[in-house]
Amino acid sequence: MEDIFVPMIAIGVLFLGLPWLVFHYITKWKTASRLTGGDEKLLDELYDSARRLDDRLCSIERIMTAENPNWKQQCLPEERPSQRLLGDVE
C-alpha cells in the first residue's frame, strides 16, 4: 500500500500542486502591479499640490526679485519650469 501511496502523492504535488502554486502567484503579481482608483486619485492630488507649491515658489521669487534686484530668479514669469518639462499649459 505504501508503495503506491507515496508515488501518487509525489505525482499529484508535481503535476497539480506546483503549477497551481506558480499560476496563483503569477496572477497575484499581475493584479498587484496595477494602480487602483485610490492610487490614481492620490497621484492626482499630489500632482495638484506640487503645482500649487511651484506657483507659490514662483511668487516668492518674484517678490524677492522686486525687493532685491541682485536676487537670481529661477522661475521665468512667462513660463514655469514645470510647463517646460510636462507640457502643462494653462
Whether 59 and 77 map to the same domain: the answer is yes
Q: Per-residue pLDDT tens for 52-79?
A: 999 999 998 888 888 887 777 666 655 5
**Alpha-helix runs per DSSP H in the chain:** 2-12, 18-32, 37-67, 81-86
What range does the domain containing 51 cover? 36-90
C-alpha dihedral sign at 76, 77, 82, 84: negative
Whole-number pLDDT of residue 41: 95
Number of structural domains (the chain) is: 2
Q: Which three cell numbers stand for residue 71?
A: 536676487
Instruction: Indicate if 26 and 52 belong to the same structural domain.
Output: no
In the predicted structure, residue 85 carries a pLDDT above the cut 90: no
Any idea of the CA torsion for 65, 66, 70, 73, to the nearest 10 degrees? 10
40 and 80 co-located in one domain? yes
Are residues 70 and 89 both part of a single domain? yes
Cα–Cα distance between 71 and 62 in angstroms, integer?
A: 10
Say if residue 44 is in the same domain as residue 88.
yes
